[in-house]
Amino acid sequence: MGEKHHVRFEPVGIEIEVDEGQTILRAAAEQGVALMHGCKEGQCASCKSFVLEGDDIELDSYSTFALPEFEKDEGHTLLCRAHAYEDLVIELLNYDEEMIQSGLPLRQGTVEVIGNDPVTHDMRHLVVKLIEPEEIKFFPGQYLDFQVPGHSATRSFSMANTPNREGIFEFVIRVYPGGLFSGHLADELKVGDRLRVEGPFGAFRLRESSPNNLLFLGGGAGLAPLLALLRSMAERSLDRPVTFYYGARGRRDLCFEEEIAKLQEQLPGLTFVPALSEPAEDDGWDGETGLITDVVERREAELRSVDAYVCGPPPMVEAAIALLTRLGRSEDHIFYDKFTTTGEPEGED
C-alpha cells in the first residue's frame, strides 16, 4: 500500500480516496462508485476519461487501440489502469447518473460447482453455489471474476441468471481450445469443485426508468447477460417491447431456444430473431441468415428511439455500435459489454 490521494470526478462532483497501489477504477468500486467499465485490462476503452487537473498518473500496461498515444498526450486516461500519485480531477466522458451512486460492494468469495454441462458443441452452462460469504449481491447483467485454478490470472464471466436467495450463479461460457479457464472448465472442472470469485463488476444493467423500446443484440456467449435481463424482466412482468437479435454460426450453435420461447409467453412484447451466419445444408434453417448486424440493418429502417443492449465478441460489438449510430441512435443509449480476452494485449504500451 502506498500514499493516498483524492480523486474528484466531474461533472458528477463525487470524490474518492485512492491508494497509489490500486487503480482509480478499483478504488471507486470499493467505495461503491459504479464507473463505466468493461474489461478492467486496458483493452476495451469503456473507462476512458479525461484528466482535468493533475498529471502525476502511472498506467499499468494497456492496449494502444484502447488509448492511442495522441489521446494520452491530449490528457485522456484509462481508469482501470491508472494509479494516482497526486490529487486529481477527472472528467467522466461516459457515465450514467442512474447507476453511478448505486454501486454494490465488491466481495471476494468461494463458490462450489453444482452443474457444468455442454449447451452447444463449444459452450457450457456452468452453475455454481456460493459457499462464502453469505451473499454476493449483483444486478442482472453484471459479471464475476473467476480465479483460474492454480494461476493468479482471472477471467470474467457474466451471470445469465437473476439475483436469488439461494446464492446460485449461472454462466454460459465459450470453450476455446487451450483456453486457460475454459480449457479447465471443459476438461477438468467437476461438480463439487470450488473456485474463488470476486464481484460484482460491470455497468451492463437495464436502465429501468427509460420509456424507450429495447433492442438486444448478442452473439455467442454474449447470450448470458441478455438472458439475465430477459429473465429479470419476466420475473417482474416488465413487458417493454424488446427485439432480441442473436447471431450464431450454425444451427448447432443455438441454445436456450426453449427457454426464450417460454419467456415470450411471459413477455408478449418480446420478439426473438436468431440468425445464422454459416448455416449448414442439413440445418433445415428457414430463419434469418447473415451477420447479425446485417440482419438488423435489413429489418430496421431507423433506431432513433430505442435503448440498445449489445453483448458478445469485440468485433461484433464494434460493428453493432457503428450500425446503431448510423441508424440514428446516439451512443448514450447504446449499452454494451465487449467480451475482450485477457491474452497479451495487442499493441501493448
The three three-digit cell numbers of residue 291, written as one number: 451477420
Question: What span, in angstroms and rounded, lies between the C-alpha atoms of 134 and 217?
Answer: 34
Q: Is 116 in the site for ligand FAD (CB under 6 A)?
A: no
Q: Is 66 in the site for ligand FES (CB under 6 A)?
A: yes
R_g of the chain, CA atoms, integer Å? 20
Residue choice 158, 162, 232, 293 for contact with ligand FAD (CB under 6 A): 158
Which option in ligand FES, ligand FAD, none does residue 47 bind, with CB closer than 5 to 8 A by kind?
A: ligand FES
How many residues bind ligand FES (CB under 6 A)? The answer is 13
Q: Give residue 45's Cα distance to chain centre.
A: 13
CB 203 within 8 A of CB 34: yes
Nearest to 197 by CA among 274, 258, 129, 262: 129
Closest to ligand FES by CB, 78 or 226: 78
Q: Is 47 in the site for ligand FES (CB under 6 A)?
A: yes
Closest to ligand FAD by CB, 185 or 303: 185
Residue choice 9, 62, 169, 171 for contact with ligand FAD (CB under 6 A): 171
In the window 3-42, what residues touch ligand FES (CB under 6 A)? 37-40, 42
Question: What span, in angstroms and rounded, lies between the C-alpha atoms of 281 and 277?
Answer: 12
Q: Is 46 in the site for ligand FES (CB under 6 A)?
A: yes
Q: Kindly write out the interface string for residues 261-300 of this chain, putting x where it contacts ligand FES by CB under 6 A and - elsewhere.
A: ----------------------------------------
Q: Is 45 in the site for ligand FES (CB under 6 A)?
A: yes
Please classify residue 161 by burial: count the beta carbons closer than 10 Å to its beta carbon, then call 0-12 exposed, 13-18 middle and 19+ buried: middle
Q: Is 224 in the site for ligand FAD (CB under 6 A)?
A: yes
Cα dihedral 110→139→153→48 (10° resolution): -160
Nearest to 246 by CA among 265, 261, 232, 233: 261
The three three-digit cell numbers of residue 251, written as one number: 444451427
The three three-digit cell numbers of residue 52, written as one number: 482535468
Nearest-approach distance from CB 299 to ligand FAD, in angstroms: 26
Closest to ligand FAD by CB, 288 or 337: 337
Closest to ligand FAD by CB, 84 or 123: 123
Give the HSE-up count for residue 332: Cα atoms under 13 Å, Cβ half-sphere.
Answer: 8
Q: Which residues bind ligand FES (CB under 6 A)?
A: 37-40, 42-47, 66, 78, 80
